[in-house]
């Protein structure tokens, strides 16, 4: 599980999933791939849609969050401009400071699914 440690508010110093806003010209899938590259340096292949959530705990903007399961296929893990660190964690050994309620919900769901490893049926 790749997480980034935020350098900016809200939740400065907390760990979050790599994420960001979708550009007008992008699909949700393209935005997920771009944001992962920008936030933690990894090129990813999307495996499946995990969740769509309505977010309300960011004072800047309410939004819909689309979360994908993905696997790295290239790049080098490093923090983006707005992150202090980027790191892999086992889903059953995550840091205590997780930012955003929606991130905590997604990570809890991954724990319930069994360390974030989807079955082949879930990927199809």
Q: What is the pLDDT of residues 54-78, one digit of tens each?
A: 988 777 788 889 999 999 999 999 9
Position 121 in a domain: no
Position 46 in a domain: yes
Of the chain, the percentage scoring pLDDT greater than 90 comes to: 72
Query: Given this model, what pLDDT does residue 116 score?
Result: 46
Position 123 in a domain: no
Total number of domains in the chain: 1
Position 119 in a domain: no
Query: Given this model, what pLDDT does residue 74 score?
Result: 97
Query: Given this model, what pLDDT does residue 123 score?
Result: 38
Would you give the distance in Å from CA 108 to the centre of its chain?
A: 13
pTM of the model: 0.86
Q: Say yes or no to pLDDT of 40 above 60.
A: yes
| CA atoms within 13 Å, Cβ hemisphere of 12 | 4
Residue-number span of the structural domain to which 28 is assigned: 2-113
Q: What is the pLDDT of residues 81-117, one digit of tens each?
A: 999 999 999 988 999 999 999 999 999 988 888 754 5
CATH number for 47: 3.90.79.10
Position 50 in a domain: yes
Of the chain, the percentage scoring pLDDT greater than 70 comes to: 92
Burial class of 44 by CB neighbour count within 10 A (0 to 12, 13 to 18, 19+): buried
Position 118 in a domain: no
């Amino acid at each position: 599980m790749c997480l980034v440690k935020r350098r900016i508010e809200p939740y400065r110093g907390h760990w979050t999933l790599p994420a960001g806003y979708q550009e007008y010209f992008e699909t949700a899938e393209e935005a997920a791939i771009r944001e992962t590259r920008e936030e933690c340096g990894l090129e990813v292949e999307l495996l499946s849609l995990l969740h769509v959530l309505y977010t309300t705990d960011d004072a800047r903007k309410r939004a819909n969050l689309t979360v994908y399961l993905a696997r790295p296929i290239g790049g080098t893990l490093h923090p983006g401009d707005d992150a202090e660190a980027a790191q892999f964690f086992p889903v059953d050994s995550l840091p205590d400071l997780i930012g955003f309620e929606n991130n905590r919900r997604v990570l809890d769901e991954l724990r319930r699914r069994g360390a974030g490893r989807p079955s082949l049926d879930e990927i199809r």
